[in-house]
Chains A and B, each alone.
Chain A
Amino acid sequence: MRERVAIAGLGYTAFTSVSPGSSYRELTYEAAVKAYQEAGIEPKDVDSFVCTSEDMLEGYSISDEYCNDQLGAVLKPAQTIPGDFLHSLAVGVMHILTEKFDIVVVQALSKASNMKTIPDLLNFAFDPVLNRPLDVTAYAVAGLEMNRFLVEGRATREQCAAVVVKNKGNALRNPLAGYGAAITVDHVLDSEPVAEPVRMLDIAPYADGAVVMVLCSEKLAPSLTDKPVWINGIGWASDSPTIESRDWSDAVAVRLAGDMAYRMAGIACPSKEIDLAEVNDEISFKELQHLEALRLFEPGQAGKATEDGKTSLDGTLPVNVSGGGLGVGHLFECSGAQKVLELVLQLRGEAGSRQVPGAGVGLAQAWRGIPTTSAAVAILSA
């Protein structure tokens, strides 16, 4: 059997709409200190560091150069992935599977509150020659996609709103979450239109925070932790960037990333074998689309399942019990880290009032957000 990689140390900050008391350095430092303390290690014990950072989000060119001090990675092997934390996690897993590295640290950070022109920044992700001159908001991509999803009968508008109600409600039980609220479907449907059918409350609001995890080899795990969480499978995939010819109703990259992770984890029937899932819900309908892409529900069934409470905390497949992006906040490249963090807490039985009873196998899925088509998936077990 293939050797597994363990998560042996977990460190994180709260996720908040602003974080004026800390620079990005102190945020990551706080998470790193906690992670190293849990695993009983010091930076000198770490064989490699993998950070997650994107220049345009940080406002620095070559922002990877600014990652090292606050992780204790100075004068050590370190590298940075411009993607989601789950992409960095995949790199960390690969390092350990080479058997050349025993302990690897993976980090991600969001300082969304420091980005003063996020809509402009998202617009800047459009193709500069073909799309940008049209002066259309990047949220239009979410509107175009959601419209197609609804018109094809994959879900109703109300079912999409039910995702928001569920996730913001779950966040009320998560002390780390910044956007918990007790709202109704009507609140969502009556909120300001943004890019119809997407309305204001369908969109995950931005948040700051940092997550650091210590990974280690299966051999070393017992010496670092008595509550390892195992990474059984990990996968990632990207579709074409071409707006003009992408699939507008299915998240194909999520399906491919999920299948890759399932293969590695030896999962044949995801809907029976996964106990809980933290999936990307940056826009309400994406949770439904992603659940179907991950084969956790048949096409067109995730919306009804949500309405029926199957994805609620006490349902058959709890989804985004942390609150997800809608309830915790959208963390840009740190989004996937918050999902893995929630799974680790759940699989260790440390999730407090939102604990899923008997959580044994969890799935975390990330999407790089509008207007991208890149995704990554990890399968974890206790």
Chain B
Amino acid sequence: MAAPRASEMVATPTDGYPTATSSLQSDTEITIKSHLPSSGTPQIALQKKSHFEFLLRNLRQGLPERYTSQDASQPWLIYWTLHGFSILGAGLDDQTKKRTIETLLALQHPDGGFAGGPGQAAHLLPTYAAICAFAVVGRPGEGGGWDAIDRNKMYNFFMSLKQADGSFLVSHHGEVDVRGIYCLLVVATLLNLITPELLAGVPDFLATCQTYEGGFGNASFPGWAFGSDDTEATTPLSSPRDPTAPRPPLGEAHGGYTFCATASWVLLQPFIKLYHPPVPGNPLPEPKINTRALLRWCVQMQGLPIELGGFKGRTNKLVDGCYSWWVGGCVVLVETLLGLAAPHIAAGEEPADEHDEDSAKAWDDADDSLFNRRALQEYILCAGQHPAGGLRDKPPKPADAYHTLYCAAGLAAAQHRVVPSKAREKAVLLTWDPVQAHAKSGATYVSPSDVERETFEELRKQMFAHALSWSEEEGTTTYVGGAANRVNAAHPIFNLTITHADGILAHFYGQMPPSRYPPRGKK
């Protein structure tokens, strides 16, 4: 699949009927197309050095006044910058780590959770960003940050946000939306805070956010099914009063929400299987999403060759570098749900015995991804890089910390195929220590019966093993512009490097999973 030449690029058809949308689209196509190098096939380099310098400037010198709009997102600025370094392949010095840990701890709210800045209220989004930043810079023990996270209070904070329909407010007096759910689920998974009471109703809520287009909107309306949608009322949690009432999605299908809902859905798979078994008479019907429609929506968001294969966030909107991660990175999650992501050989593994002849061999190339990985890399390299360093939405926009990370992570998702590995999962389960995992839980939750306790233990085990099972599929990396453009792979659910995800998970579950890279003979 060679990159198309500029002359072969067909503009999005306007059918002789221009409107505001199509005019903006046409203008954008002209700008983007002009960023394709004249050589045609882009041998364009990832300007790692200037991106490092951009990030380093933010970190050391600080951020200019226009970043005041992100004053309530300080952990995000930290996470974007530090994880950006990790993806681009740079380590951090101890002094930077120490300063970061001290900064993050100043954001912990006395009543649990993390805030956007010191003295601000706790909020699910900065909590995610802070915990992910801790995964990058922290470690166990004195001064390492991890053990200074008050998980017990955090759990209570989470529970205080829970709504009758299974959703969560993002903060006290805040709104409900699927970004908050994603952030909460990631943090609860990483920190060993998962309980059945925390997850109750979450899958059903997520399912109601899927729109007719296949992607997800930002929330849904619970009022008809639950008698009220007053998020300010202290309604006791209850089961649906009217399971037949509509719970309409609010907001159209959107890349950011679609990623959050899909990643949450993948995380929740063990919960759905253990707590909603599809048996007759089961009071909890299995919540369902339309995975085929979801896949279709995701791949439809990839722009045409004239847009260099960047991703859009909504139908008939413009491509934007950050959707490289939100939508491009979502495709492998959907493939996983469809059972299409079984790896041939994950890194460090022996080839599986049960080699599936007919399904695997229909392909003459190793790339099973259902989106165009090469084209996405071309978009990020040609249109996403700002000449002065940092990455961006699209030309001629300036670079910023947010787009630098999500373009870099999108590039990672396009270069590496990271999928759940059965073999890795098995290896992790072999060393599973349930006593430690239970002892290390940060949640105050007591199972009402022995049977339920067993199910809960099984849930914790499966969620841990699944989180650790994501592995890079060997022989499927693709580097547009050559191997010098390589960036590190990102965990498709957490958006951390695999190493950082492994490290923080092992700590908070008290586990010692086997190494991913067993020594393979002598060097």
**A and B are partners in one complex rather than unrelated chains:** no
